[in-house]
A and B are shown apart, each in its own frame.
Chain A
């Protein structure tokens, strides 16, 4: 059963169409959202996170319509979100920042200390829990971002470029965390790093110019790449390029036919 159900989603930024009549269903597991810059990945994540309103279409998360106030409230309680730039309060420690987000999510007060401890430990920051966030390195700040996103044990977790700034060892650990989270939650990860998708995702959705260019498993994308002689160092990268080019060729072919 799908936890996220999107139909006819359209998002416009001034004159640019960021998402164009998008239909998508996502269930439990880790879903990689791939695509070039401007493909609409962040726009989609922001609509799913209920921070941006679509111009048209319907978004249903965990059975609730996010266009309705009550539905949005219920969804937010069970949603985790890591934006590309999440910002933090300079005077806060790691523990305080994660507790602040737990408060935003209305985690019951008596459960907050344990929830914060658990989230901070899961991202490997237990020994820095009382350090000010502003004193941490870029990779550690990113892990604080991941900790705040999982503090309420979300049923739907949305991560926009979560591995940016992480070193290779941290990325390997993060992928293991993703796989663990994906056993019980619907995790959507927007990324440019195809190898993260290959290693951690159960399904991949490739967006291009606001439309779905491909949906399948990372293994199927790898197989496509093995059969392709396009650019890319790894089969999954070649599969990514091949799918993108085929989608664009089909789009321009359709436009020619209309003329």
Chain B
């Protein structure tokens, strides 16, 4: 009974890995039906929504059933939390671009990686503030709102607030997504997911 294996199982990591693989397969299948060779912009739904699904999977895996006992651990938690979040994010960022190869300047792998970072950061932030089980909700609401209302948005500010819908080369969108990831990862590593259940 290796401690790290028990830790991985306590965070449902096998299920999380399977869900990330399933999300990737779904994204590849969806992107294949878009005829994006005609126009790369057709990939926008996949580039915006697949990272959102992956971040929901990662966010719910941050749930801790025995938060009160975990707080009595001898070693500090932040390295384990950071490693868990970073590894899952790296895995999602490596897998999801397989759905949108090519067209790197518009809606290809860079845009997918950027959105994976942004959505996961958003979800990690929500896990720390609201709890892991509903951590997907704020990112879902934000990306959905941008998806519905961000089509006609132009200008420098729009490249930042509408980051999930921007082409891969857009610098403002990268700044927004990387900042979100840094904030989310730092806060989650420092305080963990907000305790849920009777003591929440």
CA distance in complex: A81, B66 (Å)? 12
Asked if residues B10 and A89 are in contact (CB atoms below 8 Å), the reply is yes
Within 8 A of A (CB), among B1-56: 1-3, 6-7, 9-10, 12
With both beta carbons as reference points, the residue of chain A lying nearest to B2 in the complex is identified as A109
**Which residues from chain A contact B197 at a C-beta distance below 8 Å?**
85, 87
**Which residues from chain B contact A95 at a C-beta distance below 8 Å?**
1
CB-contact partner of A104 in B2, B9, B73, under 8 A: B73
Is residue B154 within 8 Å, beta carbon to beta carbon, of the partner chain? no
CB-contact partner of A89 in B9, B68, B74, B198, under 8 A: B9
Is residue B71 within 8 Å, beta carbon to beta carbon, of the partner chain? yes
Asked if residues A100 and B72 are in contact (CB atoms below 8 Å), the reply is no
CA distance in complex: A100, B64 (Å)? 13
**Which residues from chain B contact A105 at a C-beta distance below 8 Å?**
72-74
**Which residues from chain B contact A87 at a C-beta distance below 8 Å?**
64-69, 197
Asked if residues B72 and A104 are in contact (CB atoms below 8 Å), the reply is yes
**Which residues from chain A contact B74 at a C-beta distance below 8 Å?**
73, 76-77, 104-106
Nearest Cβ distance between residue A82 and chain B, in whole angstroms? 9
When A and B form their complex, what is the total count of cross-chain residue pairs whose Cβ atoms lie within 8 Å?
A: 78
Within 8 A of B (CB), among A88-115: 88-92, 95-96, 99-106, 109, 112-113
Nearest Cβ distance between residue A219 and chain B, in whole angstroms? 33
Asked if residues A85 and B1 are in contact (CB atoms below 8 Å), the reply is no
With both beta carbons as reference points, the residue of chain B lying nearest to A79 in the complex is identified as B72
Is residue B151 within 8 Å, beta carbon to beta carbon, of the partner chain? no
CA distance in complex: A217, B75 (Å)? 37
Asked if residues A51 and B68 are in contact (CB atoms below 8 Å), the reply is yes
Interface size class of B (residues with CB under 8 A): 20 to 34
> Given A76-B74, A87-B65, A106-B75: A92 and B1 within 8 A (CB)?
no
CA distance in complex: A79, B75 (Å)? 14
Is residue A49 within 8 Å, beta carbon to beta carbon, of the partner chain? yes
**Which residues from chain A contact B72 at a C-beta distance below 8 Å?**
49-51, 76, 79, 81, 104-105
Is residue A83 within 8 Å, beta carbon to beta carbon, of the partner chain? yes
With both beta carbons as reference points, the residue of chain B lying nearest to A77 in the complex is identified as B74
With both beta carbons as reference points, the residue of chain A lying nearest to B73 in the complex is identified as A104
With both beta carbons as reference points, the residue of chain A lying nearest to B65 in the complex is identified as A87
**A 161-178 to B, binary, CB cutoff 8 A, 1 in contact else 0:** 000000000000000000
CA distance in complex: A87, B64 (Å)? 9
Nearest Cβ distance between residue B196 and chain A, in whole angstroms? 9
CA distance in complex: A21, B81 (Å)? 36
With both beta carbons as reference points, the residue of chain A lying nearest to B6 in the complex is identified as A100
CA distance in complex: A148, B69 (Å)? 10
Asked if residues B68 and A86 are in contact (CB atoms below 8 Å), the reply is yes
With both beta carbons as reference points, the residue of chain B lying nearest to A148 in the complex is identified as B69
With both beta carbons as reference points, the residue of chain A lying nearest to B64 in the complex is identified as A87
**Which residues from chain B contact A84 at a C-beta distance below 8 Å?**
198
Nearest Cβ distance between residue A173 and chain B, in whole angstroms? 23
Asked if residues A113 and B73 are in contact (CB atoms below 8 Å), the reply is no
Within 8 A of A (CB), among B177-200: 197-199
CB-contact partner of B7 in A86, A100, A112, A148, under 8 A: A100
With both beta carbons as reference points, the residue of chain A lying nearest to B70 in the complex is identified as A104
- Kindly list the 6 A-B residue pairs having the minimum CB-CB distance in the complex, ordered from nearest: A103-B3, A87-B66, A104-B73, A51-B71, A83-B68, A87-B65
25 A-B residue contacts at CB 8 Å? A49-B72, A50-B72, A51-B71, A76-B72, A79-B72, A81-B69, A83-B69, A85-B68, A85-B197, A86-B66, A86-B68, A86-B69, A87-B66, A92-B10, A96-B1, A99-B1, A100-B3, A100-B6, A103-B6, A104-B74, A105-B73, A105-B74, A106-B74, A112-B3, A148-B69
Q: CB within 8 Å of A: which residues of B? A: 1-3, 6-7, 9-10, 12, 64-75, 197-199
